[in-house]
A = this chain, B = another copy of it.
Amino acid sequence: MKSKLAVNIGSLKLKNPVIAASGTFGYGREYSDYLDPGELGAVITKTITRHRRDGNRPPRICETTGGMLNSIGLQNEGLEDFIGKKLPECRRLGTRLIVSVGGETNAEYAGIVETLDREPEISAFELNISCPNIEYKDKIISQDEELTYRLVKDVRSKTAKPLIVKLSPNVSDITKTARACQDAGADSVSLVNTFLGMAIDIERRKPVLGNITGGLSGPAIKPLALRMVWQVSNKISLPIIGGGGIMSARDAIEFLVAGATAVSVGTAHFVNPRACLEIKEGIASYLSRHHFKDVKELIGSLNVR
């Protein structure tokens, strides 16, 4: 018998726990030559802002040992373009569409969510309050529990759709921001976004990235992300979307065992466009090999004696 793969993120029902992470999967169609997005549990869009954003100057990408730095800087065409051009194309994705929302003020976040709330093809929102490339009152929102709480509260009132908040790992104690999200009424937390890093071209003694620093992703960060998911799952009761460095089913299962209800896959797409599919299939075969009837039995099953 096949094991059940469906999971729930609050009221958001996913047919399987494998989600394409924001910013690495475009608007859902870019990888269509390689896999059917309908195979995924959900797709999270590149972060959308109220107005068009140019993004940072190139180079924007740099490989590091076991990972990569990026400093895209939330390049996107803005809300109107998204509604007018991108959303219609998302209509027949065959999976849940989660829109990632970014901004510089609470009003901007709230405004976008309010506007998009009426779009039926959108299943949920993910608030990107963790992108290390944009500063809000001199801080990344997610690095401040108070700011996080207020923002989530403000946005919460604008939608009844599931509200996911994506946390920054660049903090002393991620359980505190996670708790702020829970207290403010979020349905789920998503962790982790990228870790702020840097690379230097020693021949020119200049930063490799045009923006000097960038966010580290990929397998290098997996042990850190996994630890954070485990910490948060011990402290709050919301379902967690866990990710950071997931390249294989094995990695994804580690996150589920640590307490994530679903997993997000980012950098892996660049290495293997079919990564999400292989992860989904790998989870399924692990479940049947270990005689689990339902993936939910795996979630948070870590035995620490």
Binding site for B on A (CB under 8 A): 64-67, 69, 143, 170-173, 195-200, 202, 204-207, 212-213, 216, 218-224, 226-227, 230, 245, 247, 250, 253-254, 257-258, 286, 301-305
Count of chain copies: 2
Q: Is the CB of B253 within 8 A of A202?
A: yes
Partner pick for A223 among B69, B173, B227, B286, CB 8 A cutoff: B69
CB closest residue in chain B, given A142:
B172
| Most B CB within 10 A of own CB, among A171, A195, A199, A202 | A202
With A207-B304, A227-B213, A301-B205 in contact, is A66–B219 under 8 Å at CB? yes
Q: Is the CB of B220 within 8 A of A67?
A: yes
Partner pick for A226 among B67, B198, B220, B223, CB 8 A cutoff: B198
CB closest residue in chain B, given A224:
B197
Q: Is the CB of A65 within 8 A of B227?
A: no
Q: Is the CB of B258 within 8 A of A200?
A: yes
Would you mind naming 6 contact pairs between A and B with Cβ atoms under 8 Å apart? Answer: A65-B218, A65-B220, A67-B220, A67-B223, A206-B304, A207-B302
Partner pick for A224 among B195, B207, B250, B303, CB 8 A cutoff: B195
